[in-house]
């Protein structure tokens, strides 16, 4: 059962943020580049056409949490060459956001990133967004032994690595399914997406992260 009483904002000591389409708008053409490179990689690795590769990519994401997890579990793929290749993209489509940086800096307590991408990829995204140098930790999929969100084992491993107290933490995510386990663990959950996805494990929704964070700061 999901936690129905998330901690109040003034009790939060650790703020956990997803990366892709959470710390930048979902209409920025960054992740489509990654998906296209995934299709290219699958095409070469399995010797299938692009249509089949794209179908497999989508199915693995749905069934396993990430395309990589499906490749590893169903085909024994080595994660490192895949991750290096698919993250070799154009980061200039991102632009700095000084207002978001100011709001993040003003949050009291620790601020951490937890992404299904790699930590090195996250650092490049943060640099392009002007959000570098303000994080207490950056956790990538490699820190969960390549087990992806929404798998409970991934959260357990990463949160233990971080040392956060779930009952005094909040998580911001664009993927509603990735908030189910955090809610069960006691975190306050914030779904960052254009439209809400009502569910008991979603405590808050926003389509404007800057405004939401300013609201938290003004309430404090």
Give the confidence band of 4 by pLDDT, cuts at 50, 70, 90: low
Place of tokens 């992740």: 31
Residue 146 lies in a domain: yes
Residue 91 lies in a domain: no
- The structure's pTM equals 0.94
- Looking at the fold, whether 38 and 17 belong to one and the same domain comes out as no
- Looking at the fold, whether 105 and 154 belong to one and the same domain comes out as yes
Q: Is the pLDDT of residue 142 over 80?
A: yes
Q: Is the pLDDT of residue 1 over 50?
A: no
**What's the pLDDT tens digit per position in 51-71?**
999 999 999 989 998 999 999
Q: Strand order in 169-173's β-sheet? A: 137-139, 110-114, 14-17, 169-173, 188-192, 204-206
Structural domain tally of the chain?
A: 2
- Looking at the fold, whether 16 and 43 belong to one and the same domain comes out as no
**What's the pLDDT tens digit per position in 208-219?**
999 999 999 998
Q: Is the pLDDT of residue 205 over 60?
A: yes
Contact 180, 71 (CB under 8 A): no
- Looking at the fold, whether 120 and 46 belong to one and the same domain comes out as no
**What's the pLDDT tens digit per position in 69-100?**
999 999 999 999 999 999 999 999 999 999 99
- Looking at the fold, whether 186 and 128 belong to one and the same domain comes out as yes
- Looking at the fold, whether 59 and 153 belong to one and the same domain comes out as no
Mean pLDDT of the chain: 95
d(CA 58, CA 97): 31
Structure confidence at residue 3 (pLDDT): 54
Sequence-ordered list of residues with C-beta below 8 angstroms from that of 51, at least 6 positions apart, any chain = none
**H-helix or E-strand containing 81?**
helix 79-86
Last residue of a domain, one of 41, 58, 86: 86
Exposure string of 58-76, with b = 16+ CB inside 10 Å and e = fewer, is eebbeebbbbbbbbbeeee
Domain, as residue range, for 48 = 31-86
Residue 4 lies in a domain: no
Contact 91, 125 (CB under 8 A): yes
């Amino acid at each position: 059962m999901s936690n129905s009483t998330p901690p109040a904002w003034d009790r939060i000591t650790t703020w956990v943020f997803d990366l892709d389409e959470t710390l930048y708008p979902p209409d920025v053409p960054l992740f489509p580049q990654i998906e296209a490179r995934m299709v290219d990689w699958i095409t070469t690795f399995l010797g299938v056409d692009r249509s089949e590769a794209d179908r497999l990519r989508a199915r693995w994401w749905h069934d396993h949490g990430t395309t990589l997890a499906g490749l590893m579990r169903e085909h024994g793929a080595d994660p490192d060459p895949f991750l290096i290749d698919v993250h070799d993209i154009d980061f200039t489509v991102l632009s700095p956001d000084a207002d978001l940086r100011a709001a993040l800096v003003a949050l009291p307590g620790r601020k951490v990133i937890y992404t299904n991408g790699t930590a090195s990829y996250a650092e490049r995204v943060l640099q392009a967004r002007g959000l570098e140098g303000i994080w207490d930790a950056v956790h990538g999929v490699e820190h969960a032994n390549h087990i992806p969100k929404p798998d409970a084992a991934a959260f357990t491993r990463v949160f233990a690595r971080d040392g956060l107290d779930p009952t005094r933490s909040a998580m911001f995510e664009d993927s509603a399914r990735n908030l189910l386990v955090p809610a069960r663990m006691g975190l306050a959950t914030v779904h960052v997406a254009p439209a809400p996805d009502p569910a008991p494990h979603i405590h808050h929704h926003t389509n404007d992260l800057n405004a939401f964070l300013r609201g938290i700061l003004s309430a404090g």
